[in-house]
Amino acid sequence: MNKRLVLYERRDAVATVTLNRPDAKNAVNAEMASLLREIVNDLSWDDEIKVVLFAGTGGFCSGTDPEEISASGSRAALIERLSVASPVAGLEKPTIAAMEGDIFGQGLELGLACDFRVCTEPSRFAMDQVIHGDMPWDGGTQRLSRLVGRGKAVEMILTGEVINAKEAFRICLVNKVVPAGTLLETATALADQIASKAPIATRYAKEAVYKGMDLSLEQGLRLEADLYFLLHTTGDRTEGIRAFQEKRKPLFQGK
């Protein structure tokens, strides 16, 4: 397996995972998917990493490699072999997608699996599977609608429409749009900002938001309260209060 297809770098508490098939516009193939899942699994157990940044060499991800789609095998086997969004979405740590180029199909599904999306001004987005007689299969029908609303999600999915970065920002598909050449700088600054916070607090807050979306308001409020009280049993919460009283920067340990 060519381990250079996915690059991994860690700097302090931030891990950067970079798709590295620039000649194929970082289209997902079986090797890349397997490596990405392996790295994400390792990151889920690494307590020293507080934020994970996903990027691509020469662009983010243009979708699924056409050769993989046309390969023999059942549809279920193809999904099992190529799916990457669910493992990324399952990370308890905050995640950021640094997106540029054409982010189509599975590339957009991968971006949707992250908590934050930062893109460059020339970037373009599409859930274009229907154009090829297919449909989103790596979580796109569910995550897109939760992010931009049912109406816009249905429009994008059923038409395969390509939208620009300005429109992506308007519909809240991306959090930030930055000039070309400043993407990694901006995404890294955001990662550092989040990594400076108490990791247990960010993890619990993320859990409350995501799980709460599938609960009634009453159940969601109960989940929020349970996690809030649980947070108060941690050393980080004690350190946060002490640092505030002493007017200094807190030193969070993730405990």
For 40-68, write each residue's pLDDT tens digit.
999 999 999 999 999 999 999 999 998 88
Whether the pLDDT of residue 251 is over 80: the answer is no
Whether the pLDDT of residue 7 is over 90: the answer is yes
Listed in order, the ranges of the chain carrying CATH 3.90.226.10 are: 3-195
Percentage of residues in the chain having pLDDT higher than 70: 91
Residue 1: per-residue pLDDT? 60
Q: Give the right CATH number for 199-245 from 3.40.50.300, 3.40.50.1010, 1.10.12.10, 1.10.3720.10.
A: 1.10.12.10
Q: Which CATH superfamily is domain 3-195 in?
A: 2-enoyl-CoA Hydratase; Chain A, domain 1 (3.90.226.10)
Listed in order, the ranges of the chain carrying CATH 1.10.12.10 are: 199-245
Whether the pLDDT of residue 204 is over 80: the answer is yes
Whether the pLDDT of residue 15 is over 80: the answer is yes
Residues in the chain, how many?
A: 255
Residue 63: per-residue pLDDT? 95
